[in-house]
Amino acid sequence: RKEVEQDPGPFNVPEGATVAFNCTYSNSASQSFFWYRQDCRKEPKLLMSVYSSGNEDGRFTAQLNRASQYISLLIRDSKLSDSATYLCVVEYNAGNMLTFGGGTRLMVKP
Amino acid sequence: DGGITQSPKYLFRKEGQNVTLSCEQNLNHDAMYWYRQDPGQGLRLIYYSQIVNDFQKGDIAEGYSVSREKKESFPLTVTSAQKNPTAFYLCASSKLSAGDYYEQYFGPGTRLTVT
């Protein structure tokens, strides 16, 4: 069983749509959770951290459900520039160690 | 400008040859990491180092070696023992503090092709 699982997609959505991705993780001891964005053939970049209370950054909202061990990312009013792969990332010990999901590919169409 | 540099961007080698990938950071970060990414898969940790002259194996260390002689530098050698070396290699660095998480910053990566 993979430690961090994501639907690989692709999610094809029109501009302006709302799209949501989920991710499940297996290590119940994990404390920190993140969404990274990775453009084609580029390095991953931190999009946002995921807090227990949920957090919002502009059009992006991240939520954590510890009981069910899943994390979600909601993107409202999708832009063409949102087209990328979104990586769900879970910290698995206090030494700054990360486990990456395989990513969910989003394609926003005009 | 502060950041992480990796060179070269593309690297081609013949099977059986060792190859060393460069990673340098000027962010004054204590911790450095090497990951490998294969198509459609998440990043997998090869090696990491939290302090100069010390490093630890990650999940897929077999066939790889590293050194950390300077805080700024963490080169990765892909040896001929690595059975499937063709991949996208990413170096990252972060601050380090007990009990806190600090963002890992990634370099632009090196695409290694072995034929």
pLDDT tens sequence across A16-67: 999 999 999 998 888 889 999 999 989 999 999 898 888 999 999 999 999 9
| Distances A20 to A75, A78, A103, A104, B45 between C-alpha atoms, Å | 6, 11, 13, 10, 28
Contacts of residues A40-47 at CB distance under 8 Å and 24 or more positions apart, as own/partner, are A40/A84, A40/A85, A41/B88, A41/B111, A42/B108, A42/B109, A43/B90, A43/B106, A43/B107, A43/B108, A43/B109, A44/A87, A44/A100, A44/B43, A44/B90, A44/B106, A45/B106, A46/B103, A46/B104, A47/A73, A47/A86
DSSP states along B29-95: -SEEEEEEE-TTS--EEEEEEEETTEEEE-TT-TTEEE--SBTTB--EEE-TT-S---EEEEEEEE-
pLDDT at residue A95 in the model: 60
Could you tell me which chain B residue has the CA closest to the CA of A30? B101
Closest CA–CA distance from residue A23 to any residue of chain B (Å): 13
State the average pLDDT for chain B.
92
Interface probe for A, chosen from B104, B105, B111, B112 (most Cβ of A below 10 Å), is: B104
Q: Output the pLDDT for position A26.
A: 92
A60 vs B: CB within 8 A: no
Tell me the residues of chain B between 56 and 95 that have a Cβ less than 8 Å away from chain A: 88, 90, 94
pLDDT in tens, A69-89: 999 999 999 999 999 999 999
| Confidence check: pLDDT of B17 > 80 | yes
pLDDT-based confidence at A2, cuts 50/70/90?
low
A6-17 residue pLDDT tens: 999 999 999 999
Is residue A1 very low, low, confident or very high in pLDDT (cuts 50, 70, 90)? low
The band of B40, judged by pLDDT with boundaries at 50, 70 and 90, is confident
CB pairs under 8 A between A and B: 48
A100 touches chain B (CB under 8 A): yes
Specify the amino acid at residue B21. Answer: L
The residue among A7, A97, A104 with the most chain B CBs within 10 A of its CB, best to mutate, is A97
Residue of B nearest to A31 (CA): B101
